[in-house]
Amino acid sequence: MSTEEIISGNIRAAARLMRDVEDGDPSYPAKISKLLPHTGRAHIIGITGSPGAGKSTLLDRLIGRVRKEKKTVGAVVIDPTSPFTGGAILGDRLRMQRHTTDKGVFIRSLATRDTMGGLSPFTYDVVTIMDAMGRDVIFIETVGTGQDETQIVHLVHTNIVVTIPGTGDGVQAIKAGILESADIFVINKSDQPGSDMAAADLEAMIGMRDMLEGGWQTPVILTSALQERGLETLLAQIRNHRDHLGDEFPYLHRKKLMENRFCDLLKNRLYEEFRMEMEHRHLWKPILETVKTGHRDMHEAVDAVITRMLSWAREEP
């Protein structure tokens, strides 16, 4: 498998690299680095919201519509982690089987691996691979954990928050900050009672926010994915948001994404290095035990670990 194969759009080569990413193969970071100069062309779209809102059905229908426009599609579907294998349960991907024979659609399921925020720790790298392949549109569907799904905004250009009528999601959005993360609100299953009222409530809340911030006016769209209603309106607003961002936005977004990714990798690596060094010196379990039993304040314990690690670093020649 070569990076040239992936850049040329080879799905098998891309799938192999994605497998290496999930397996933690030590060779994959260098391959991802080679792909980075070939990214930044795809329109990356997030689909998030609470469980049962119909995100997967909506994504399935949107993929079909985008393919009618002769655009290639990548879809990263975040599923809960299987308690038996540690992999993705694949429930959402099974709902999109009709696209499996379409070479213009590449769907990849990822397990959360207990990561908070509705994403997988491998999401960034998988999206990078799809972007380098030349996919025109990349969808990311979060796992549906609810109120804490705001990490997605750091990864996508356009974020769609999906709700349904009669669940009080409007109030929950205010509590969780999801209101601020949405570029487009979708009230799915709009054939159910209360849809118009839910739309009015959301529009009132969004109107106050947009009036203070200016710029993009967040639309609220009524859809019924099963009945394929409202999808053309949704696609039109997705295109409008992409136009609103301007031609320079993908470059600026990529710079910010790289910064966030670097900080995440640094934090994870430092934690792993600290923990392994403490274990090597037989200090990890004792300090952890004092925290777990309440004999030591955890903030003071963290300060002590960092101080000790810095002193060891200074001692090295």
Positive or negative, the CA dihedral 87, 88, 94, 96 is negative
DSSP string, 247-308: TTHHHHHHHHHHHHHHHHHHHHHHHHHHHHHHHHTT-HHHHHHHHHTTSS-HHHHHHHHHHH
Strand, coil or helix: 195: helix
Q: For the chain, first and last CA: distance in Å?
A: 40
Contact 109/88 with Cβ under 8 angstroms? yes
pLDDT at residue 224, as a whole number: 93
Rounded Cα distance, 105 and 108, in Å: 10
Rounded Cα distance, 248 and 269, in Å: 32
The structure's pTM equals 0.82
Contact 156/48 with Cβ under 8 angstroms? no
Rounded Cα distance, 66 and 161, in Å: 19
Q: 77 pairs with which residues across the strands? A: 109, 141
Quick one: tokens of 176? 């969780």
Rounded Cα distance, 49 and 170, in Å: 11
Radius of gyration of the chain (CA): 22
Rounded Cα distance, 209 and 217, in Å: 9
Rounded Cα distance, 159 and 90, in Å: 23
Rounded Cα distance, 278 and 258, in Å: 30
Contact 189/224 with Cβ under 8 angstroms? yes
Render each residue's pLDDT in the chain as its tens digit; 317 residues. 678 999 999 999 999 999 999 988 888 989 999 999 899 889 999 999 877 888 999 999 999 999 999 999 999 998 765 544 444 455 455 556 777 788 999 999 888 755 555 678 889 999 999 999 999 999 999 876 555 556 788 889 999 999 888 765 544 544 545 667 789 999 999 888 888 888 888 888 787 666 666 678 899 999 999 899 999 999 999 999 999 988 877 777 778 888 888 888 888 888 888 889 899 999 999 999 999 999 999 999 999 889 988 888 777 65
> How confident is the model over 78-119, as pLDDT tens digits?
876 554 444 445 545 555 677 778 899 999 988 875 555 567
Q: Between helices 11-23 and 28-35, what is the axis angle to 10°?
A: 130
Selection from 115, 54, 63 nearest residue 88 by Cα: 115
Task: Report all structural domains of the chain as residue ranges with CATH numbers, in order of start.
Answer: 3-245 (3.40.50.300), 259-315 (no CATH)
Strands 184-187 and 220-222 come out as parallel
In single-letter form, the type of residue at position 100 comes to T
Rounded Cα distance, 247 and 270, in Å: 36
Strands 184-187 and 105-111 come out as unpaired
Phi/psi at 297 (nearest 5 deg)?
Answer: -65, 135
Rounded Cα distance, 240 and 219, in Å: 11
